[in-house]
Every structure is written in structure tokens, then in C-alpha cells.
Chains A and B, each alone.
Chain A
């Protein structure tokens, strides 16, 4: 029954779009969604678009993709996008520079951000982490990969000044490491899997190993959130539903992931794709509310994670003062989804 209604709704929406608005139906609100291609936490956007769930809630998404978090954040200055997903480090940068709000958590990617070593050097570094002193590590600055690597260094009692850090894009890192021109790199999944499968590299320490929680963030421009809070809540509901579906339908999920990753130029084995699902927990509506909940006078779990990240970025010299987590992280829109029975039901659907 629900499926029929959904199908009719989608057909009407499509018909509306096709006829350019002559049909007397609920007009779709345009919403500009940004993400980075071939990433695990962006998969829900793809799935939701394919399955027409945006249209079901009256949204018409316009997608834009970026090669990394920083250009994505920079583009918000010209209002190129309204909502999106990104890493927690760029999200913090966005909060400081452009008043971007973090309204939810895409996934816990602590395992997916790691220090990777080439095949011939990995074992040596694992046995004796102190030997990393004096080495060169290539990573993408101001990213979750950066954060994971520096957390790993801290875990081994090494300082940033003990190593030489060179900053470059993920593609260059992969190229340098696979051609034997760099031994250590900070990468995020699925690039970690590309390196493992195609170059025999090994992940020697992830954010998880270093005890650093690396979340991914759902973000929105502050002024857009003020203008269109309903659309923001709907966007969240769509995202949550997509994760529910993905977690409940693994085989189909893997198939869609394969297509989505290929669109972004990434081909990894099915085993690695399954590993993504296994190692990166996601949060449904109840879960999101729980980790974002602020007990009286205190900070939430999410606040704690972002405070550490802010401190890291401040130590890096990215900004003079770390941002206050409670100022840019808000569960207001998740609460809106929870308070609206229709949206709540939508967000909890696993079909």
C-alpha cells in the first residue's frame, strides 16, 4: 500500500517536473545538496535520489560534488549549496569561516581515516613506531585524515615536529605512495582500500586505534536553516531513511555502492565494500538524538568529539581560537524530525 502511494507520488512529482509545473500538484522545493563522490557517507544521497525519496517529501535536490572538504566549504561562501555532508574537520573550518551549522552525524569513520604505510615499510613501522621519527608523511591538510595521523603520532609519543608533513590531494598521495616515492600517508576510505588492493599497502594506525573519534557531519548554511527549517528537517529525514534501508538490505546496498563508487572513479573489491559497512557505524534518528543530547549544563558526546577536533585545528594554526562546539552543533533539526510524526515515521522506514 505504502509502495503504491510512493509510486504515485513519485510519478506525480516526475510528471510535474516534466510538464514544467502545469500540473496542479504540490510544487517541489529545490534544495542544493553538496557532497564528495565515492565516499561511504555520501552513498545515502545517491540511494535516496535513485529511489525518489526526496520527491516523496516534496524536495527537488540539486547535487554538486567536490574533490575534498575544503573546496566544498569554500563554495558555501557564494551560496552554491544549502545542505550537505562533509568530514568533521572541514565542518569545523566551515563553522568558523562561514557560519555553517552541524546538524547531524553521517557516520563514525574513525576506522576509515588512517595512517597507511607501503608494503615494504609497514611491518617495520608497526614493530617499532619510534622509527617513524624523521620520516615524511604525506597527507591532505585540514582533513579527517590529517586528524587521524596526528592522533596516531600522539598515541606513539611522537610530536608533529618529529616528522616532516607534506600536504597534497588524495590522488597525489596515492600516486606518490604507489610509485615508491613516499612511505607514509594519511588517507581516508575508500582510498585506503585502493592502496591496499592495488599497491599492497597496509593500514598501520587508524583514528580508532589512536582513540580519536572521527565523525562525519551533516551541515547546513546558517541563513538557509533560518529561512527553510522545514526543508532542512526533511533533508535529514531522507538521509536517515536511506541509511536504514542500506543497513537492512546489504546485498542491494553493495550493488548500489559499486555503481556509486564507479561514478567517482573508484573500484574496490566487494570484501572492502563490506568492510566499509562493518567498520563504520551509522546512527538512526534515536541514535542521533542520543549522541547530540546535552544533559543539563553539560556537553553532548558529539560536542566532545568536535571540541577535540577544534583543539587540533587550533594547534595546527588554522585559527587562533577553537570554536565552541555548542555554538555550531545543533540538534534542533533532528528534534524537528522527531516531533513531526510524519517525518519521524519516514526517517525510520527501512524499505
Chain B
């Protein structure tokens, strides 16, 4: 979280985790203060993890669920980036275009992605398309807004300089505008990805046959707390990994930025 120059004492974090793990074990297995109907014990969670990894749960094994979820997220994310980034750049570059598109954007934007679920089913049915649509709605807005801000935040002197030197439109876009907006574009993409991931679970409530959201839904229908915990952990870990991957791409794409 902090990109500070002082190292946080790592051992404190380790100790905290160990303390929590001990408390978890004590409260559930040793003293039964928390019944297994309300929160699973470490042993039950481990069993559930083994079940879903080896034999499978909710019609597939853990690896298949993760793959299916990641596939949907990447599809929605890509679709949102492909539409949102150019649109945001165009809106940032041209006031006229912005004035035309803004009304539609302002009307659609406040509606939470999940509120689109009923309509998505009616429009696209129960397949992947409906889920990707929901995820798209979640990711589109940050991508667009940040691309827009990125263009708007370009130092005026760069724009003036390009104008003075008579730089062509396309060259301006390629050499000045896009690199200038890139940091904010990536911030937008990072937010998009997080939004995609958090919306995914809700999206997979629409009759999925695999995916981490489906696992959570099935586990809640079976009232299987241990599997719910496994599902939540899987969601968290996959989300973290994807965010880190994006961070890596970001650093490679913008080597001139330090931290």
C-alpha cells in the first residue's frame, strides 16, 4: 500500500496473521464458541478446499471455475477498454464531441452495474454475453473518465509547443496526447479491472454453470459456510493477482515513470 522509503517491519504483519489464525482455530475447533453453522473451522475450510480442488464442486473443479471467471472478466475488461479509452480520449480532445456524448453518458453512468442484471437477462439471455454486459457496465465508466482526465491534464505547454511546431494531428495524438494521458489511462484501467472483478460475482448469479461467482451462489444455497470461505478467498486471490499483473504491464508500458 505505501510506496515509502521506510520498510514497514514485516514481522509485525506475520505475527498478526499468526495471531488471527490461532484465534480462528481456538474459537472454532477448541472452544466451539463459534458454531460451524456460522463460520467454518480451519479443518472444515481445508476439507472444502480439497473437495473443490480435487473432486469438484458446483459442476467443476476449482481451476475450471477460476479460468471461467477470469475469461469473463478479461472479456468485459477488454470490451470496456476498447470502447471507454478511445471515447474518453476523443471527449477529452474535442469539446464538441464531449458536448454531444455527455448527456447519454450522464444518464447511464449513475446506474449501478448490478441493476442491469434483470435487463441483461431479457436482452441477452443466460449465456456469457449477459454477464459480460454487466461487467462491461462496471468497467466502462472508470476507463472513460480517466482517459478523459488524462487528456485534459496534459501540460498546456506541450500542446502549445506542438501547435507552434505545426505537428500533424495524428502525430500529435501518437507522440503527445496518448503518452501524456497514459498514466491516467492506466489508473482508469486499474480501477476498471477492480470494478470488473467485484461485479463478476454478481454477474455469475445469472445461471452460470461454472465460475467463482457460481461457486459462491451454490455454496450459499447449500448453506455450506466452509465452501463460501474458500470461494471468497479464491475471489480475493485471483483479483489481487490480476491487479498485480496489470501493475506489471503498466510499469513496462511506461518505463519513464518511477513508482
Instruction: Determine whether A and B are in direct contact in the complex, meaning some CB atoms lie less than 8 angstroms apart.
Output: yes
> B12 near A: Cβ within 8 Å?
no
Query: Do B38 and A181 have beta carbons less than 8 Å apart?
Result: no
Q: How far is the CA of A183 from the CA of B220 in the complex (A)?
A: 26
Q: A77-B38, A138-B207, A179-B121 are in contact. Are A167 and B223 (CB under 8 A)?
A: no
Contact between A176 and B222, CB atoms less than 8 A apart:
no
Interface string of A66-102 (1 = CB under 8 A from B): 0000100110011000000000000001000110000
Partner of B218, one of A73, A141, A172, A182: A141
Known A78-B38, A175-B121, A181-B126; judge A142-B207 contact (CB<8 A). no
Complex interface bits, B208-225 against A, C-beta within 8 A gives 1, otherwise 0? 110000000110111100
**A74-B223, A97-B37, A168-B206 known; A138 vs B218 contact (CB < 8 Å):** no
A179-201: CB near B (< 8 Å → 1, else 0) gives: 10110000000000000000000
Assess whether B223 is in contact with A93, with CB atoms less than 8 Å apart. Answer: yes
For B206, list chain A residues within 8 Å (CB).
168, 172
* Residues of the B chain whose Cβ atoms lie less than 8 Å from the Cβ of A97: 37, 223
Give the shortest distance, in Å, between A279 (CB) and chain B (any CB): 27
A70 to B219, CA, bound (A): 11
A249 within 8 A of B: no
Does the CB pair B122–A175 fall under 8 Å? yes
Q: Is the CB of B221 within 8 A of A166?
A: no
Report if B247 contacts A (CB, 8 A).
no
Which residues of chain A are near B125, meaning CB under 8 Å? 176, 179, 181-182
What A residues does B123 contact at CB under 8 A? 179
Decide if B182 is an interface residue (CB 8 Å cutoff): no
If A74-B220, A166-B209 touch, whether A138 touches B126 (CB-CB below 8 Å) is yes
Contact A142 B126 (CB under 8 A): no
Q: Is B86 an interface residue (CB 8 A)?
A: no
Is B112 an interface residue when CB atoms closer than 8 A count as contact? no
Q: Contact between B126 and A182 (Cβ–Cβ < 8 Å)? A: yes
Interface band, chain B: 20 to 34
In contact, A167 and B38 (Cβ under 8 angstroms): no
* Bound-state Cα–Cα, A98 to B37, Å: 7
Q: State how many angstroms separate the Cβ of B26 from the closest Cβ of chain A.
A: 20
Task: Tell me, rounded to whole Å, the shortest Cβ–Cβ distance linking A9 to chain B.
Answer: 39
Evaluate whether A172 and B37 lie within 8 angstroms (CB atoms) in the complex, with A93-B223, A141-B221 already known. Answer: no
In whole Å, how far is A164's beta carbon from the nearest beta carbon of chain B? 7
B214 and chain A: residue at smallest CB distance: A167
**B-contact 0/1 string along A240-273, CB 8 Å cutoff:** 0000000000000000000000000000000000
B209 — which chain A residues lie within 8 A by C-beta? 164, 166
Q: A172-B121, A175-B122, A181-B126 are in contact. Are A318 and B222 (CB under 8 A)?
A: yes
A181 adjacent to B205 (CB under 8 Å): no
Q: Which residues of A contact B208 (CB under 8 A)?
A: 166
**CB contact between A73 and one of B35, B38, B207, B223 (< 8 Å): that residue:** B223
A75 to chain B, nearest CB (A): 10
Known: A70-B223, A97-B223. A167 touches B217 (CB 8 A): yes
Decide if B126 touches A167 in the complex (CB within 8 Å): no
- CB of A142, distance to nearest CB on chain B (Å): 5
User: In the complex, A73 Cα to B206 Cα: how many Å?
Assistant: 22
CB distance from B39 to the nearest CB of A (A): 10
* Contacting residues, chain A, for B38 (C-beta < 8 A): 77-78
> Which residues in B have their C-beta under 8 angstroms from that of A318?
222
Chain B 25-56 against A: per-residue CB contact (8 Å), 1 yes, 0 no? 00000000001011000000000000000000
Q: How far is the CA of A89 from the CA of B124 in the complex (A)?
A: 31
* Neighbouring A residues of B121 by C-beta, 8 Å: 172, 175-176, 179, 181
Return the CB mask of B108-146 against A: 1 if under 8 Å, else 0: 000000000110011111100000000000000000000
Is B126's CB under 8 angstroms from A166's CB?
yes
Q: How distant is the Cα of A166 from the Cα of B209 in the complex, in angstroms?
A: 6
B220 touches A176 (CB 8 A): no
| A249–B118 alpha-carbon span in the complex (Å) | 39
Instruction: Give Cα A167–Cα B117 distance, bound, in whole angstroms.
Output: 15
B218 contact set on A, CB distance < 8 A: 141, 167
Q: Is the CB of B221 within 8 A of A167?
A: yes
Q: Give me the 10 closest cross-chain CB pairs, A-B, nearest first.
A: A181-B125, A166-B207, A179-B122, A168-B207, A175-B121, A141-B221, A77-B37, A97-B223, A142-B221, A77-B38
CB-defined A-B contacts under 8 Å, sample of 30: A70-B223, A73-B223, A74-B223, A77-B38, A93-B223, A138-B126, A141-B221, A142-B221, A164-B209, A166-B207, A166-B208, A167-B207, A167-B221, A168-B205, A168-B206, A171-B118, A172-B118, A172-B206, A172-B207, A176-B121, A176-B126, A176-B207, A179-B121, A179-B122, A179-B123, A179-B125, A181-B121, A181-B124, A182-B125, A182-B126
Q: Which residues of A contact B (CB under 8 A)?
A: 70, 73-74, 77-78, 93, 97-98, 136, 138, 141-142, 164, 166-169, 171-172, 175-176, 179, 181-182, 318
8 A-B pairs besides A175-B121, A179-B125 with CB distance below 8 A are A78-B38, A166-B208, A166-B209, A172-B121, A175-B118, A176-B125, A182-B126, A318-B222
B residues contacting A by CB (< 8 A) are 35, 37-38, 117-118, 121-126, 205-209, 217-218, 220-223
